[in-house]
């Protein structure tokens, strides 16, 4: 289906022909080529369909926001992209999710390797009960980072706009940090693995407005290097931060467009209702 | 050191060496190791039961249950005195420990709140639950056998075992009481009931199945206990049952009272002690007798536990 | 009016009665301590505490008499330590397997089996040690094993305490919040790495508490040890020899005819006090650790 696609030995399971070559940076992908793309995706828990027939393309090096009222399936959709809802029992997935053209739920995709390239930041900051340094260094070390770990930690903390605040406290417990700092630590931790895509599941909902503003600035900076998919129930945040916005309602994708277009000239009346606050 | 400029990133070589195949293989080996240990642990039960059944099943017979133990003729030996002793002990222990245990649980759960006294009692009970059973035997020896002069009787044994199972009963009953939703209590209070009325008519019936389960399990623990009874002097060779056969006494109220008073102060033995006595002897026939006795004991315990499980299942079905 | 007063009096009486029931537990504790202290006091009038706690020969019933309790303590810890060596790895591995890897049906079978293992009376384990473990497991591997030996007792006590360790470790593993596991998985970790590098360290103090509680139980274990380990007090670390634990000694003395007030009778209480003190200390530490563990996760 696509031309430029990449794989490394880890992403494919043994026995399957390679579909990609060595990782090409997202910035060099053809501009209209989505880095993640869902095709007629339906996700069911038992009899309840959380996501119904969603086809969404995530363009590279941009921030795509998914908005919608609570329970509309946006978190489920997000977690499907890096197979984090593998851990939920009784879940069926029909349709496809393609990461750089590779079917994420297909037999050729190793979820552990996938998660190295598609990272996630969660709603409530969840740093490990270890030091700040070890939090950031843990995943790269496990994944065999070839360079100097201390440099990587510093680089990631700088990119997450946290270095100045923790550079003297690197070996103190991460749990001593404030909520906003912990969330930026989680972002630094995710960035340290140098992922392609960063999935963010309502990252600011547990934070105060000042911490929220800092993280929104950070997201703005991140998008030059990483593709960000942001789930948020805060419409203003989506309007501020994202380039494209998708609106979901009751599991269905109602509308997706450039953020400007969605918020000024929504095509679907339900989008209009949601944005103007008729329901929420 | 400044970070690389954000807008002109050149593609990095793959700086990670994830070695996924190796990590996956380690994971599989670890899972296999855990599975092996788990199967080993669970398998021990089957090995044990197989050993007991193979050695003892041929020796279990009506004769075995009806006869008294005999040292000289192991083929004729039976467990009658031990079975009766266990029965006497279980009934008396239940009679002493259940009311006190329920009363204590009701007090702690419904009346006491979180006062200093209540927390101290709770801490105390948690500690008592962890005291080795043999210490209870020492307590029984000094207090019931010597000080109260009940001597080596069923009464001493029952009183000692009551103290032993009391913490277990209290803890289990408290859990059963705590599981009753507070809305029931609130509703009763709102209708003007006193605390005791609330407890007696509303809370207790709801907690009863859970309490019964806990009591049965506590008593089954007590039945398996040996050390405290050895300390208070339960003997291992007892060729008679407490009080002797009921038929020896006239069937009047004075006759019954006589039987009871003789029985309470009679010497006794229980199944675990009888088994211990047989296992400790070197001749192989006694080991078969021991295995047969174990089968009987495990049968009794299985019956009690099955009852407790059935009650719990019935309660859960009733709830949903 | 009168009815109100009568009802109040009845409520007060019931309250009092229930309080008495609860107080029985306090009376029990006081009685245990009183009994142990008073009889031990009588003992220590005749035997110096130094001889008792530091002496290395325990022969209270034979001439020449000696009252050094160290062989009994050594035997107790030899068996208890061996039991932990059996129970902790197996119990922890079982807990990890049941909570992280096992499918539902396996768990439904394993839980009752473990409960049954925990409910089997100790005499049965003593029988099993004597009739199966020593002749069919230990002797084939080490022919110099004696009929009564500490190893068979340790194995069997380990099996007895395994269900406790397994269920407490299971609780500890479950207490580690899901968010930590999710964070680790999202960072490209395998199940092994999540279990061993995030979950297990997070549950560590819960596991430690479980081990301590199992230790206390193993120290207080009586009948299986009395049957399997023998009645020869000895200061040794060789698990293939016969030894005597504190609990086995107490049983041995009680089965004989010891009149009240004699020195032999009082050894029951002096050894018993030592046993009680050790188990109490271990239990208190375990509960303190457990409480701190629960505070972290609540």
Q: Find the radius of gyration of the CA atoms of chain A.
A: 19
- DSSP secondary structure, chain B, as one string: -PPPPTT-PPPPP--B---HHHHHHHHHHHHHHHHHHHHHHHHHHHHHHHHHHHHHGGG-SHHHHHSPP-SS-GGG---HHHHHHHHHHHHHHHHHHHHHHHHHHHIIIII-TT-HHHHHHHHHHHHHHHS-HHHHHHHHIIIIIIIS---SSHHHHHHHHHHHHHHHHHHHHHHHHHTS-HHHHHHHHHTT--HHHHIIIIIHHHHHHHHHHHHHHHHHHHHH--HHHHHTT--S---S-TT--GGGS-SSHHHHHHHHHHHHTS----HHHHHHHHHHSSSHHHHHHHHHHHHHHHHHHHHHHHHHHHHHHHHHHHH-
Q: Contacts of residue C193 in chain A, CB cutoff 8 Å?
A: 142
Does any CB of chain C come closer than 8 Å to the CB of residue A127?
yes
pLDDT at C107: 92
pLDDT (tens place) for every residue of chain C, 298 residues total: 567 888 888 888 998 999 899 999 999 999 999 999 999 999 999 888 888 999 888 988 888 888 989 999 999 999 999 999 999 999 999 999 998 888 989 999 999 899 889 989 999 999 999 999 999 999 899 998 888 999 999 999 999 999 999 999 999 999 999 999 999 999 999 999 999 999 999 999 899 999 999 999 999 999 999 999 989 998 999 989 999 999 999 999 888 777 777 888 899 999 999 999 999 999 999 999 988 888 777 6
Does any CB of chain A come closer than 8 Å to the CB of residue C105?
no
Which residue is listed with tokens 């843990």?
A138
The reply to whether residue B16 touches residue A112, judged by beta carbons under 8 angstroms, is no
Q: Contacts of residue B100 in chain C, CB cutoff 8 Å?
A: 21, 24
Q: Contacts of residue A147 in chain B, CB cutoff 8 Å?
A: 15
Does any CB of chain C come closer than 8 Å to the CB of residue B24?
yes
The reply to whether residue B138 touches residue C250, judged by beta carbons under 8 angstroms, is yes
Mutate to test the interface with B, among A7, A23, A28, A143 (most CBs of B within 10 A): A143
Contact assessment for residue B269 and residue B238, using Cβ atoms and an 8 Å cutoff: yes
Mutate to test the interface with A, among C175, C176, C188, C206 (most CBs of A within 10 A): C188
Mutate to test the interface with A, among C107, C184, C187 (most CBs of A within 10 A): C187
Q: Contacts of residue B195 in chain C, CB cutoff 8 Å?
A: 11, 15
For chain C, the chains sharing at least 3 beta-carbon pairs closer than 8 angstroms are A, B
The reply to whether residue B16 touches residue A154, judged by beta carbons under 8 angstroms, is no
The reply to whether residue A122 touches residue C197, judged by beta carbons under 8 angstroms, is no
- Report whether CATH 3.40.50.300 matches the domain A26-275: yes
pLDDT at B81: 86
Does any CB of chain A come closer than 8 Å to the CB of residue B14?
yes
Give the chain B residue nearest C161 (alpha carbons): B41
Does any CB of chain A come closer than 8 Å to the CB of residue B45?
no
Q: According to the 3-state scheme, what is the secondary structure of B32-53?
A: HHHHHHHHHHHHHHHHHHHHHH
Tell me the C-alpha distance between A233 and C294, whole Å.
34
The reply to whether residue C159 touches residue B44, judged by beta carbons under 8 angstroms, is yes
Angle at alpha carbon of residue C220, lines to C216 and C225, rounded to 5°? 125
H or E segment and range at residue A244: strand A244-249
The reply to whether residue A110 touches residue B4, judged by beta carbons under 8 angstroms, is no
In 3-state terms, what secondary structure has residue C198?
A: helix
Tell me the C-alpha distance between B96 and B92, whole Å.
6
pLDDT at C1: 59
The reply to whether residue B11 touches residue A23, judged by beta carbons under 8 angstroms, is yes
The reply to whether residue C279 touches residue B130, judged by beta carbons under 8 angstroms, is yes
Tell me the C-alpha distance between C226 and C247, whole Å.
8
Minimum distance, in Å, between the CA of residue C298 and any CA atom of chain A:
15
pLDDT at A19: 33
Minimum distance, in Å, between the CA of residue B65 and any CA atom of chain C:
18
pLDDT at A276: 85
pTM, entire model: 0.85
Does any CB of chain B come closer than 8 Å to the CB of residue C131?
yes
Mutate to test the interface with A, among B15, B19, B24 (most CBs of A within 10 A): B15
Q: Note every long-range contact of B33-40, with CB atoms under 8 Å and residues 24 or more positions apart, other chains counting.
A: B33/C93, B34/C93, B34/C94, B34/C96, B34/C97, B34/C101, B35/C97, B35/C101, B37/C89, B37/C90, B37/C93, B37/C94, B37/C97, B38/C90, B38/C93, B38/C94, B38/C97, B38/C98, B38/C102, B38/C110, B40/C90
User: What pairing do the DSSP bridges indicate for beta strands A227-231 and A197-201?
Assistant: parallel
Give the chain A residue nearest C103 (alpha carbons): A89
**Which B positions 96-125 lie with beta carbon below 8 A of chain C?**
99-104, 106-108, 111-112, 120-121, 124-125
Per-domain residue ranges of chain C: 2-46, 58-296
Contact assessment for residue C251 and residue C230, using Cβ atoms and an 8 Å cutoff: no
**In Å, how far are B121, C209, C275 from C216, measured between CA atoms?**
21, 11, 10
- Reading the block at residue B67, the tokens are 């006869």
pLDDT at A31: 54
Query: The domain at C58-296 falls in which architecture?
Result: Orthogonal Bundle (1.10)
Does any CB of chain C come closer than 8 Å to the CB of residue B186?
no
Q: Contacts of residue C159 in chain B, CB cutoff 8 Å?
A: 41, 44
Tell me the C-alpha distance between B85 and B267, whole Å.
9
For chain A, the chains sharing at least 3 beta-carbon pairs closer than 8 angstroms are B, C
* C183, C186, C190 member nearest A128 (Cβ): C183
Q: Find the radius of gyration of the CA atoms of chain B.
A: 28
- Reading the block at residue C201, the tokens are 């360290």
Which residues fall within 8 angstroms of residue B17, CB to CB, at 6 or more apart?
A143, A144, A145, A146
pLDDT (tens place) for every residue of chain A, 280 residues total: 333 334 444 444 433 333 333 344 555 555 567 888 999 999 998 889 999 999 999 998 899 999 999 888 899 999 999 999 888 888 999 999 999 888 899 888 889 989 999 999 999 999 999 999 999 999 999 999 988 999 999 999 998 989 999 999 999 999 999 999 999 999 999 999 989 899 999 999 888 999 899 999 999 888 888 999 999 988 889 999 999 999 999 999 999 999 988 888 888 888 888 888 887 6
The half-sphere exposure of B156 on its side-chain side, counting CA atoms within 13 A, is: 30
pLDDT at A21: 35
Does any CB of chain B come closer than 8 Å to the CB of residue A220?
no
Which residues fall within 8 angstroms of residue B149, CB to CB, at 6 or more apart?
none
pLDDT at B260: 80
Residues of chain B with pLDDT under 50: 1-12
**Which C positions 52-81 lie with beta carbon below 8 A of chain B?**
none
- Reading the block at residue A5, the tokens are 């696609």
The reply to whether residue A113 touches residue B11, judged by beta carbons under 8 angstroms, is no
Q: What CATH code would you report for B75-319?
A: 1.10.3720.10
Per-domain residue ranges of chain B: 75-319
Minimum distance, in Å, between the CA of residue A82 and any CA atom of chain C:
8
What is the per-residue pLDDT across B157-173, written as a single tens digit (0 to 9) for each?
999 999 999 999 999 99
Which residues fall within 8 angstroms of residue C100, CB to CB, at 6 or more apart?
C173, C191, C195, C199
**Which A positions 117-156 lie with beta carbon below 8 A of chain B?**
140, 143-147, 151, 154-155
Q: Contacts of residue B28 in chain A, CB cutoff 8 Å?
A: none
**Which C positions 162-191 lie with beta carbon below 8 A of chain A?**
177, 179-180, 182-190
Contact assessment for residue A90 and residue A46, using Cβ atoms and an 8 Å cutoff: yes
Q: Find the radius of gyration of the CA atoms of chain C.
A: 24
Give the chain B residue nearest C125 (alpha carbons): B48
């Amino acid at each position: 289906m696509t031309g430029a696609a990449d794989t490394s030995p880890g992403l494919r399971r043994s026995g399957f022909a390679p579909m990609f070559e060595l990782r090409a940076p997202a910035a060099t992908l053809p501009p209209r080529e989505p880095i993640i793309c869902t095709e007629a995706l339906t996700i069911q828990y038992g009899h309840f369909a959380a996501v119904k027939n969603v086809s969404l393309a995530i363009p590279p090096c941009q921030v795509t926001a998914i908005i919608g009222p609570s329970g509309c399936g946006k978190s489920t959709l997000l977690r499907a992209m890096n197979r984090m809802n593998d851990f939920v029992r009784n879940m069926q997935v029909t349709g496809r999710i393609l990461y750089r053209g590779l079917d994420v739920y297909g037999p050729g995709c190793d979820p552990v390797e996938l998660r190295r390239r598609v990272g996630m930041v969660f709603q409530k900051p969840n740093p490990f009960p270890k030091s700040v340094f070890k939090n950031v260094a843990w995943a790269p070390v496990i994944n065999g980072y070839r360079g100097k770990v201390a440099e990587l930690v510093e680089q990631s903390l700088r990119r997450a706009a946290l270095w100045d605040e923790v550079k003297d406290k690197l070996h103190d417990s991460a749990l001593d940090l404030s909520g906003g700092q912990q969330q930026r630590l989680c972002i630094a931790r995710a960035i340290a693995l140098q992922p392609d895509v960063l999935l963010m599941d309502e990252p600011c909902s547990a934070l105060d407005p000042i911490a929220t503003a800092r993280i929104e600035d950070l997201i703005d900076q991140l998008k030059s290097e990483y593709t960000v998919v942001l789930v948020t129930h805060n419409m203003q945040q989506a309007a501020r931060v994202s380039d494209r916005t998708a609106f979901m309602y009751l599991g269905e994708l109602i509308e997706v467009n450039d953020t400007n277009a969605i918020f000024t000239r929504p095509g679907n009346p339900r989008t209009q209702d949601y944005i103007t606050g008729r329901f929420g | 050191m400044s970070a690389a400029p954000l807008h002109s990133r050149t593609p990095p070589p793959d700086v990670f060496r994830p070695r996924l195949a190796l990590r996956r293989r380690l994971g599989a080996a670890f899972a296999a190791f855990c599975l092996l240990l788990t199967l080993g642990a669970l398998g021990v039960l089957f090995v044990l039961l197989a050993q007991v059944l193979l050695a003892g099943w041929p020796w279990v017979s009506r004769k075995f249950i009806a006869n008294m133990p005999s040292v000289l003729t192991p083929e004729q030996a039976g467990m009658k005195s031990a079975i009766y002793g266990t029965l006497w002990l279980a009934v008396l222990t239940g009679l002493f420990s259940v009311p006190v245990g329920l009363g204590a649980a009701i007090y702690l759960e419904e009346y006491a709140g979180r006062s200093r006294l209540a927390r101290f009692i709770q801490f105390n009970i948690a500690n008592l639950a962890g005291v080795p059973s043999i210490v209870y035997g020492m307590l029984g020896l000094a207090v019931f056998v010597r000080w109260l002069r009940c001597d080596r009787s069923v009464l001493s044994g029952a009183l000692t075992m009551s103290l032993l199972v009391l913490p277990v009963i209290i803890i289990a009953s408290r859990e059963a009481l705590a599981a009753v939703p507070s809305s029931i209590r609130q509703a009763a209070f709102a209708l003007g009931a006193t605390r005791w009325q609330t407890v007696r008519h509303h809370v207790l019936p709801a907690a009863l199945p859970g309490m019964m389960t806990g009591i049965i399990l506590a008593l089954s623990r007590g039945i398996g206990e040996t050390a405290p009874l050895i300390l208070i002097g339960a003997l291992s060779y007892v060729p008679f049952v407490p009080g002797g056969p009921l038929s020896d006494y006239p069937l009047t109220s004075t006759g019954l009272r006589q039987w009871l008073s003789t029985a309470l102060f009679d010497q006794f033995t229980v199944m675990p002690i009888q088994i211990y006595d047989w296992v400790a002897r070197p001749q192989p026939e006694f080991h078969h007798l021991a295995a047969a006795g174990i089968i009987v004991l495990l049968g009794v315990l299985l019956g009690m536990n099955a009852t407790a499980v059935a009650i719990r299942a019935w309660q859960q079905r009733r709830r949903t | 009016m009168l009815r109100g007063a009568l009802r109040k009096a009845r409520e007060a009486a019931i309250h009092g009665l229930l309080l008495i029931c609860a107080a029985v537990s306090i009376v029990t504790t006081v009685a245990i301590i009183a009994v142990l202290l008073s009889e031990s006091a009588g003992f220590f009038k005749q035997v110096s505490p130094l001889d008792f706690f530091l002496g290395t020969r325990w022969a209270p019933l034979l001439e020449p008499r000696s009252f050094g309790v160290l062989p009994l303590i050594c035997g107790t810890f030899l068996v208890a330590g061996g039991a932990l060596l059996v129970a902790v790895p197996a119990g922890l591995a079982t807990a990890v397997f049941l909570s992280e890897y096992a499918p539902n049906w396996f768990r439904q079978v394993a839980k009752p089996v473990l409960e049954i293992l925990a409910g089997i009376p100790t005499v049965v384990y003593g029988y099993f040690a004597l009739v199966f473990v020593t002749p069919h497991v230990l002797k084939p591997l080490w022919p110099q094993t004696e009929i009564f030996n500490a190893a068979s007792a340790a194995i069997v006590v380990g099996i007895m305490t395994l269900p406790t360790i397994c269920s407490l470790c299971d609780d500890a593993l479950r207490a580690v919040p899901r968010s930590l596991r999710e964070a680790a998985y999202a960072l490209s970790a395998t199940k092994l790495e999540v279990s061993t590098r995030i979950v297990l360290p997070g549950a560590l103090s819960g596991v430690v508490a479980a081990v301590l509680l199992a230790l206390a139980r193993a120290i207080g274990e009586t009948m299986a040890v009395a049957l399997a380990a023998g009645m020869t007090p000895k200061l040794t670390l060789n698990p293939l020899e016969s030894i005597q634990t504190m609990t086995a000694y107490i049983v041995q003395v009680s089965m004989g005819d010891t009149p009240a007030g004699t020195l032999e009778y009082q050894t029951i209480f002096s050894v018993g006090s030592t046993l009680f003190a050790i188990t109490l200390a271990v239990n208190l530490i375990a509960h303190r650790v457990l409480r701190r563990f629960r505070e972290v996760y609540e």
